[in-house]
Each structure stands twice: as structure tokens, then as C-alpha cells.
Structure 1
Amino acid sequence: MSYPIHRFQAICRLTPAEERHLTTLGDAEIVRRRGETFQREGDAPGGFHLHVRGWISSSILLRSGNRLIQKIHLPGDILGTPSMVLPQAADTLTAITEAVTAFVPYERFGQLFTQAPRLAALFTIAVQMERLALMDVLAVTGNASAREQLARLLVDLHARLSPIGMVQDDSFHLPLTQEVLGDLLGLTAVHVNRTIRGMEADGIISREGHRVRLLNLPALREISPLPPRRLQFEPAWLPAPL
């Protein structure tokens, strides 16, 4: 399996055995077609998914009938973990581009706690990283300008895409429509378009098709209402590798 393990390597130095555990944890890789929904809210989950390649959205259905996209997942993410505490899947997972995932049954994941306890602890940290990301989104939603919110999102995507080699000269492919961006930012598509054009006019970003270049990354970081998070490397409480 070719699951990217950079987010675990950012927390501590992995042993060869831990790397083998990670790369063999999932079932055979499955290619997801663009637009394919491979988990629906309300399904019986039975496990979670390792995100190997492509862009994937997580969404929930509101009582109004509207679907709200909450998160854009990138390679190395762990999909569907909120459903661990529910009898039914908490969200819907849909491939934005062609994507690849690998399914991990809960039973196999549970074995990590006895076979590789430090790796199980790293999964716990990875889930807390997702919680931090959600806290940041909640902090700015409704409390920051459209320009600030877009800057935060672009800086976040740059930081998440860089470790997997998907950023070149501060530019990256952004396969998201303005409607999807609006969902993520709590804005209308018209407002998103106006904000992007304003940043282009100011020489902060440029666009060519679906490729976005961050012309002034320091300025974007200054505009973002939140400072960057700095992960703690090898926390002292981590159990020793077996």
C-alpha cells in the first residue's frame, strides 16, 4: 500500500516495524471515480479509510435538506474516524477528483493497541490534529472577514500539500468550485469570487485554470486570523516502541 505516512513522521521518528504496520494496515487500495460517494451518512461503517491519493470531501446533510461540506481531505488523512463512536456513519465521503483509499476494519485497528501501542498513540494524536483543525475553522467562521478566511484556507492547503510534493514554487492544483469553497468558508459563491479577485488585484495570489499560485505567502499568513500551529515532536508521554 502506498499510504503517505508524513503526518506520523512529523510527530516522531518511526521504527521500520511501525512503518510496516502503517503500510499494511489497510485492505487493498480502491480507486474512487471522480464524484463517487463511497460512504454515506447513516451507513454502518465497520471501519475507517486511509486516504492514499486525490481530493475527497466530507459532508453532512442538514434538516433543511441542504448538504454542507465540512472538510476537504488530502492524502495522508484518516477518513471516517468520527463514526467510531456512532452506530451509523457521521458523514458522507465523496471523491472530488479521482482518488484512492484503503479500508481499515475496526478490529484490525484495535489490534494496534496491543501489537504496536506507540503507533496507536500516534493515531490518537492524528485525531487530535483533526480536532485542532476543526477548532480553527470554528474560531474564524462568522468572526473573520471573507479575505481572512480565504487566506487561512490557502495557507492551510499550502501547508498540507507541501509534505506530499504537491506544491511547486508556492503553487498547487485547486480542484474546488467556488460553491465548494463557499461551503467551506460559510460564504456565497459570489462573495468567494469577489474575494479571490481582490487578492489577485492586490498581487497576493494568481490563478491559471485550477492552479493557484501564492505570490506573497508571508502576506497571506499575516492576513490569516490565526497563527500557524507548531506540532510537538516526540512528546515525552509517548510509549516506547515494541
Structure 2
Amino acid sequence: MALGDAEVTRRRGEVFQREGEMASGFHLHIKGWVTSSIVMRSGHRLIQKVHLPGDMLGTPSMVLPEAADTLTAVTEAVTAFVPYERVGTLFETAPRLAAMFTVAAQMERLALIDMLAATGNTSAREQLARLLLDFHARLSPIGAVVEDSFNLPLTQEILGDLLGLTAVHVNRTIRGLETEGLIARQGHRIRLLNPAALQRLAALPVRRPKFEPDWLPAAR
């Protein structure tokens, strides 16, 4: 039995989960870029994470009766819905797969820990350097990085909502990194000219988690 339902193509800008609505499952992310966001009482949007293929979308809602966040397709994206009940059966029928699901959830938690550590405690330059290195590390395994360059289909407004900065500040910071010879831009494509220098600038090291650690149970 497949874990996810039939694949669904999401158009650019489509909201396919809204914060506060009833939730009965999560989504496997197959293609494209998706944001997870919440709205503060002030009305300000906070983007918690930019999701890439291979991520699981909406899993925080598993412990709530309603959706914890809003999921929006930044580009055309493809997802597959997974009902919670189907996940529950994995712990009986496929313990290794269930354990890998647990690992994936901890990887999400690790990403949020790093984001919280960086936001508000580091400069805009340090935050942007960390974010670009993070995208580079996450896009490399899926073949989306060529000669240290990758497509970045995010507006400066989205980057600002993700980093807690204004769009003007994001633009100024990107230009600064270009002037320093750390990155180059051509349209939506970003090239890391000096990844080592960006790593020295970033406040946190790039994480390289193991998706299948040695302690996982053997497949049945």
C-alpha cells in the first residue's frame, strides 16, 4: 500500500492548507517550493520554513485538532496527501518506515532550533549567509545544485518574512554579499562564489543529518 494518495499538482500561489482549519493528515512534498506560515495577532505573516522536495508538510498539526500552519505553493508544486490513520498502521506493519518518519520529524525540529537560534540574535548578513548555505545543502542531494548555483524562486518579501527583515533590508543585504564577492545573481539563480567564507560568516554550522541512522530497526 502506498503511503500517500494520488499526486496533486498545486498551482503557483495556491494555499492548500489554512491555519485553523480541520486537519486529517499531512502532505508528502514531491516537487516545487512551498512555504509554511502562521499569522500573528498583529496581522503580520511569519514564514516558519521554506519546504523543498522530500519534506513532509503539515506534520505539526498531528497534535492539534486543527491545522497549525498555512501551506502555500511558491512555485508549481506536487504533493500527495497522507491520512493520519495510515501513518498509525506503520508502527505495526512497517516499524522501520515508522521510525524513519520519526527521524524526519526530528529533522524538522532541528531546523526550527537553528532558525530560532539565528533569528534575532545575528545580523542580517549572518542570517542570509546561513539561509543560502541551508538551501545549498538541502538542494544538493536532489540534484538541484550545479557548480554551487541553484534557483531561488523566493521574492524579497518572502525572504523578509522568513528572516524577520523588511524587503528593503533583504535587498540591501543581498547586494552587500554580491559586492563582497560572496554570491552572484542572475535572475532567480544564486551562485555561492565562496561557500567557505559564507560558512565563516554564518553564525551556525551547516547541519548534515543522517536520514537513516544506524539505530533504525531492520526492515521486515
The gaps in structure 1 that reach 5 residues or longer are: 1-20
Amino acid at match of 1:92: T
Q: Residues 135-154 of structure 1 correspond to what in structure 2 (within 5 A)?
A: 135-154=113-132
Residue aligning to 1:13: none
Tell me the TM-score normalised to structure 1 length. 0.88
- Residue 232 of structure 1 and its aligned partner are, at CA, apart by 4.4
CA displacement at 1:163 relative to structure 2: 0.7
- Report the equivalent of 2:155: 177
Q: CA deviation at 1:184?
A: 1.0
Q: Any unmatched runs of 5+ in structure 2?
A: none
One-letter amino acid of the counterpart of residue 98, structure 2: A
Q: For residue 188 of structure 1, what is the aligned residue in structure 2?
A: 166
Alignment of 1:121-160 (within 5 A): 121-160=99-138
Percent identity, please: 74
**Do residues 28 (structure 1) and 36 (structure 2) align?**
no
Pairing of 1:59-74 with structure 2 (within 5 A): 59-74=37-52
Tell me the CA shift for residue 233 of structure 1.
Answer: 6.8
2:10 pairs with 1:46 = no
Amino acid at match of 1:137: M
How far apart, CA to CA, are the structure 2 residues paired with 1:140 and 1:72? 16
Asked if 1:111 corresponds to 2:100, the answer is no
Which 4+ runs in 1 deviate beyond 6 A? Answer: none
Paired with 2:11 and 2:210, the residues of 1 have a C-alpha distance of 36
User: In structure 2, what is the Cα distance between the partners aligned to 1:201 and 1:34?
Assistant: 32
C-alpha displacement of 1:240: 2.1
Question: Alpha-carbon deviation of 1:149?
Answer: 0.3
What is the CA RMSD across the aligned residues, in angstroms? 1.2
Amino acid at match of 1:160: R
Q: Which residue of 2 aligns with 1:75?
A: 53
Q: Any idea what SS the aligned residue of 1:111 has?
A: helix
The residue type paired with residue 121 of structure 1 is A
Provide, for residues 178-199 of structure 1, a one-character-per-residue CA deviation record: whole Å limited to 9, x for no partner: 1111111111111111111111
- Cα deviations across residues 52-106 of structure 1 (Å, max 9, x unaligned)? 0000011101111222211100000000000000000000001000000000011
Q: Secondary structure at the match of 2:43?
A: coil
The residue identity in structure 1 corresponding to 2:143 is G
Partner of 2:207: 229
Amino acid in the other structure paired with 1:219? A
Give 3-state SS (helix, strand or coil) of 1:193's partner: helix
What residue number does 2:72 align with?
A: 94
User: Cα gap change, 1:230/1:69 in structure 2, threshold over 3 Å: closer, same or farther?
Assistant: closer
Under a length normalisation based on structure 2, what TM-score does the superposition of the two structures give? Answer: 0.97
- Paired with 1:233 and 1:190, the residues of 2 have a C-alpha distance of 37
